[in-house]
């Protein structure tokens, strides 16, 4: 009986210690390109909204935006720093979302991407139809 009580106490203590740990955000510097589906040409001037975890208020989300441009002679380039793709306790593809809103980009359809972003630096290519 004493062993069961001691084991239960140890399990409860471990659960309390583990459950009260502060989550540490995992950051990624993301480079990428937006290209057309039809011929893979880059798309300049497209306003992208990036939604990721808010490092100051986990597990809430934040939204930022970036505009695609030509970089090193390649059209459709974008770059965004400090993208939070998860925490030391939670990771997955649903934490980072890129959106091309048709209200901000009237010549393009509303498109949503959930790329698999991870590591210190990552690259992604987002394809959009016209």
Can you count the helices (H) and strands (E) in the chain? Answer: 1, 8
Domain boundaries, the chain: 24-128
6-17 confidence digits (pLDDT tens):
777 777 776 666
pTM of the model: 0.82
For 21, 30, 60, 113, 114, the CA distances from 127, given in Å and listed in that order, are 39, 16, 28, 9, 12
CA 130/CA 127 separation, integer angstroms: 10
Handedness of CA 55, 57, 62, 64 (dihedral sign): negative
- pLDDT of 2: 77
Return the CATH number of the domain spanning residue range 24-128. Answer: 2.60.40.2190
pLDDT at 122: 96
**Local confidence band at 23 (pLDDT 50, 70, 90 cut-offs):** confident
What the block records as the tokens of 73 is 């002679």
- Nearest CA to 34 out of 126, 109, 130, 129 is that of 126
Q: Is 10 left (phi over 0), alpha (psi -120 to 50) or beta?
A: alpha
Q: What is the pLDDT of residue 101?
A: 96
List pLDDT tens digits, range 92-130: 667 899 999 999 999 999 999 999 999 999 999 999 998
Q: Around 121, how many Cα atoms within 13 Å sit in the side-chain half-sphere?
A: 2
Q: 8, 16 in Cβ contact below 8 A?
A: no
The tens digit of pLDDT for each residue in 39-96 reads 999 999 999 999 999 999 988 999 999 999 999 999 999 999 999 999 988 876 678 9
């Amino acid at each position: 009986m004493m062993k069961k009580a001691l084991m239960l106490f140890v399990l409860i203590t471990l659960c309390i210690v583990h459950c009260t740990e502060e989550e540490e955000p995992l950051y990624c510097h993301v480079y990428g390109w937006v290209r057309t589906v039809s011929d893979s040409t880059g798309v300049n001037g497209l306003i992208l909204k990036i939604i990721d975890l808010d490092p100051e208020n986990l597990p809430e989300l934040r939204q930022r935006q970036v505009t695609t441009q030509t970089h090193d002679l390649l059209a459709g380039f974008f770059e965004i720093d400090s993208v939070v793709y998860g925490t030391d306790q939670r990771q997955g593809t649903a934490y980072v979302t890129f959106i091309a809103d048709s209200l901000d980009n009237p010549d393009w359809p509303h498109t949503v991407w959930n790329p698999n972003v991870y590591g210190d630096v990552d690259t992604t290519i987002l394809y959009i139809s016209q």
